[in-house]
Amino acid sequence: MPDSLITAAMLAVVGQAGESRTATVERGAIQRFAEAIGDGNPAYPDLAPPTFLRSVGVAIPTLPDGDSIPRVLDGGSEWAFGTPVRPGDEITFSTILQDLTERDGRLGAMVIATYLTTFVNQDGIRAATQRNTVIRMAATE
Amino acid sequence: MQDVSIGQELPPLVKHPTTRQLAMYAGASGDFYEIHYDKDFAAAQGLSDVILHGALKSAFLSQLLTDWAGPEALRSLSVRYRDMDVPGDMLTCKGVVVAKDDTAGTVRCEIWVENGAGVKTTTGESVVALGS
């Protein structure tokens, strides 16, 4: 019987909040993001596109023993949007590993990690939350 | 709001992603996972080509909705990456109104990305606020 891909060290960090970080939203960063996604909406860069916030920085806690499942795929994302994000905003964000489950998928045995990131602006108002599903697998043979 | 009806289709949004766009998105988003711009790395993962960032497809779908309802209209956006997409393909973002909440002034849309072969590689839904 194969061992579980999920180790005790991985399970130990489920529910733990990662480090909180703060970053300033730069007008140029919004501009580059809008150009990268090919969205010429004239509201940008005086306003950030909906999914821009992930670009202010990453605070995803490191997964212990993560080297044993190095192949990573993005499974999906659920955003809830709050107050609009504009240049000069100071966004504080932190990420918690909500859940780890293992299942056999189309691509073989995989670990599904669910992260929740909360983004709050300088006035303490929620700008967004993002729940992100990350698929991790062992290295190919 | 009165003009929007259940079953109404959103104007489609066509995208032609390139490796250049993936490099631009890597830089703009800070997601430098090599699977999105290093073909040798992608091959070592068993892939025939580099693949689009899932989050780039989320951005395409958010543009589908903001083009239709305005840049501040999105209340939620839920997206599942069901299949990988590669640069060089033509992607069409589509959506349809599936529910209306007249009190809240919102509609719920099913949204998806179709690749050039007509396969829905990415699916999701969104709640969008509509002006009066």
Residue-wise pLDDT tens digits, A88-127: 999 999 999 999 999 987 778 999 999 999 999 999 999 9
User: ipTM of this predicted complex?
Assistant: 0.95
Residue type, A54: R
CATH of the domain at B71: 3.10.129.10
Please give the structure tokens belonging to residue A62: 């490191």
Adjacent-strand bridge partners of B13: B93
Intra-chain end-to-end CA distance of chain A, in Å: 18
Q: What is residue B2's predicted lDDT score, i.e. its pLDDT?
A: 67
CATH superfamily for domain A8-24+56-137: Hotdog Thioesterase (3.10.129.10)
Chain A within 8 Å of B96 (Cβ-Cβ)? no
pTM of the predicted model, to two decimals? 0.94
Q: Is residue B27 part of a domain?
A: no
Give the position of tokens 């992603």.
B17
Give the position of tokens 């602006």.
A121
How big is chain B by its Cα radius of gyration, in Å? Answer: 16
Q: Is residue B125 part of a domain?
A: yes
Residue pairs spanning A and B at CB distance below 8 A: 101
Residue spans of the domains in chain A: they are 8-24+56-137
Least Cα separation, residue A5 to chain B (angstroms):
18
Task: Report how many domains make up chain B.
Answer: 1
- Find out whether A39 and B37 touch, Cβ atoms under 8 Å: no
H or E segment and range at residue A136: strand A126-137
Q: Do A35 and B24 touch (CB under 8 A)?
A: yes
Intra-chain end-to-end CA distance of chain B, in Å: 6
Q: Is the pLDDT of residue A57 over 80?
A: no
- Compute the average pLDDT of residues B110-125: 98
Q: Do B62 and A49 touch (CB under 8 A)?
A: yes
Higher pLDDT, A116 or B46: A116
User: Count of H helices and E strands in chain A?
Assistant: 2, 5
CA separation for the pair B69, A47 (Å, rounded): 15
Q: What is residue A1's predicted lDDT score, i.e. its pLDDT?
A: 39
Mutate to test the interface with A, among B35, B62, B112, B125 (most CBs of A within 10 A): B62
Residues in chain B: 132
Give the position of tokens 């909406």.
A41
Q: Is residue B26 part of a domain?
A: no
User: What's the CA angle centered on A58, arms A71 and B94, to 5 degrees?
Assistant: 75
